[in-house]
Amino acid sequence: MKHLLSSLESNLARSPVAIAVELPSGKWLGDAKADLRLSLHDRMAMVALAMGEIGHVGTAIVEGRVVVEGGMRQLMAAAAALLRLDPARDEHSHWWRRVLLRARSMAAHTRQWDARHVERHYDLSDDFYALWLDPRLVYSCAYFSAAGMSLAQAQEAKLDHICKKLMLRPGERFLDMGAGWGGLLLWAAEHYGVDATGVTLSRHQHAHAQRLIHARGLQGRVRMQLLDYRALQVDEPFDKIASVGMFEHVGHAQMGRYFASMQRLLRPGGLLMNHGITAAGLDNTAGLGAGMGDFIERYIFPGGELLHVSVALQELARAGLEMLDTENLRPHYTRTLWAWSDALEARLQEARHILVSQHGQELGEKALRAYRLYLAGSALAFERGWIALHQILAARPTGVVAQGALQGAQCDYPFNRAYMYADLAKPRTA
């Protein structure tokens, strides 16, 4: 017990913010008047805090075994100081562990389980998400391409950035794989004149997008399908494909099939954009360490798996696709997540009312505690470089060397970046 208390006191001393901890016995460590206060109700929470297992401390907070008084930004600053090991590095990457994790990935990513995972997260509550997302409900990394941008402006800049990278043209067939609440789908249709198809497994997102399509009179050239990406069949391939924020839910065991599906659905010479969260460590076979991966799996994204961008590029190449341009937007996601976190913190009472009224007192309170930690903790992870966000632009080569802007291009891509950034700071308006 003395060693445990010594470790805990040593950890608290490293915190850049003043922190006080109430032990299960009622004794206080640190200044009891500190702005950040943690009340520990059991020994296991005390052990996790002393060992720097911040993900397990998060679990104790969600379950009510630790009570927090203080802001999320203060809590995350303290959490980073408590860590003993880099959570982006897998210190136990044995071959047998990788085999077990791949087997688990295969079992977790059947069509039935993926539908349940999506329902668990994305169908939590549209009203709750609307409290802290932008008006378009874009639930992915924004692009702060100019100083002073609001979150809403940065999300529009991101949508436009993707459309520009894909070189969308009027009349082209465009697929948004994992289309969310329809933000990119509608932006591409209204600003670039494409014939747009979206695919989602979320019933709530499907219903929301359908309402927007009808309200804007876009039924003739925009559609949203409630469908697993593996089940999508078309008579004519798409000219362009985007997948935003879906990649991390696919699972390592299904990654080859995921890129092969996009290759099958894309016409020769067409372009695709994969926008997704990636691991920072090369051997992140089990996600983030220090209990953070376990926390995300349990409370936020069941079945979520992160791959290093190099692994994603290998799977993409095996599917017969050619990587053209890769951009890391990691700091942009830091800013996005802090904007979401701050917005939720500003409306906690409304969020609590929504979740409790829709899910009951116990589950609603747990969900709110989990999301507060998830948003702020994810901001910390991107800020510290434990995870990243990559946009990968790729093509399905035609095999015709005389086709394209340059000899041997074999696709629509001009093999320069100039077109991507034209007037990017001034996203189009409706």
Answer whether 320's CB lies under 8 Å from 396's CB: yes
Tell me, yes or no, whether 336 and 254 share the same domain.
yes
Assigned domain for 426 exists? no
Q: How many CB atoms lie within 10 A of CB 171?
A: 12
Residues of the chain short of pLDDT 50, as ranges, are 95-96, 113, 424-425, 427-430
Q: 344-353 — which CB contacts under 8 Å span 24+ positions?
A: 344/131, 344/132, 344/371, 344/372, 344/375, 345/71, 345/72, 345/372, 347/131, 347/132, 348/372, 350/131, 351/128, 351/131, 351/132
Looking at 65, 82, 99, which one is the last position of a domain?
A: 82
Query: What is the sign of the dihedral through the CA atoms of 84, 291, 122 and 230?
Result: positive
State whether 22 and 120 are in the same domain. no
The answer to whether position 430 is within a domain reads: no
Instruction: Please count the structural domains in the chain.
Output: 2
**What is the pLDDT, as a whole number, of residue 425?**
43
Residue 161 lies in a domain: yes
Range of the domain at 282: 107-421
Residue 190 inside a domain? The answer is: yes
Provide the token pair at 192.
């670039």
Is the domain of 252 the same as that of 313?
A: yes
If asked whether residues 386 and 289 sit together in one domain, one would say yes
Strand order in the sheet with 173-177: 222-226, 195-200, 173-177, 238-244, 266-279, 387-395, 322-328
Same domain, 154 and 7: no
> Could you tell me if residue 97 is inside a domain?
no
pLDDT of residue 166: 97
Residue 209's pLDDT is what?
Answer: 97
CA distance 61 to 65: 6
Rounded Cα distance between 32 and 257, Å, is: 54
- Comparing C-alpha atoms, which of 342, 370, 367 is closest to residue 356? 367
276: β partners: 390
Same domain, 111 and 76: no
Alpha-carbon distances of 213 from 36, 155, 182, 205, 310, rounded to whole Å: 46, 20, 9, 12, 37
Q: Quick one: which of 376, 361, 362 has its CA closest to 292?
A: 376
Does residue 327 lie in a domain region? yes
> Whole-angstrom Cα distance, residue 287 to residue 293?
5
pLDDT value, residue 84: 72
- Residue 57 is part of a domain; what is its CATH number? 3.30.1050.10
> Is residue 102 situated within a structural domain?
no
Asked whether residue 264 falls in the same domain as residue 188, the answer is yes
DSSP helix/strand/coil, 321: coil
What would you report as the CA-atom Rg of the chain, rounded to the nearest whole angstrom?
A: 23
Q: Does 78 share its domain with 117?
A: no
pTM for the structure as a whole? 0.90
pLDDT at 143: 97
pLDDT at 309: 94
List the CATH number of the domain containing 386: 3.40.50.150
Same domain as 209, residue 328: yes
- Based on the fold, state whether residues 139 and 67 are members of the same structural domain: no
Q: For the chain, what percent of residues have pLDDT higher than 90?
A: 62
How many other C-beta atoms are found inside a 10 Å radius of the C-beta of residue 349? Answer: 8
Identify the pLDDT of residue 27.
87
Q: Are residues 291 and 195 in the same domain?
A: yes
What does the alpha-carbon distance between residue 184 and residue 157 come to, in Å, rounded to a whole number? Answer: 11
Q: Is position 386 within any domain? A: yes
Of 66, 82, 98, which one is at a domain's C-terminal end? 82
Tokens of 246: 């879906």
- Domain final residue pick, 82, 99, 123: 82
Are 61 and 149 members of one domain? Answer: no
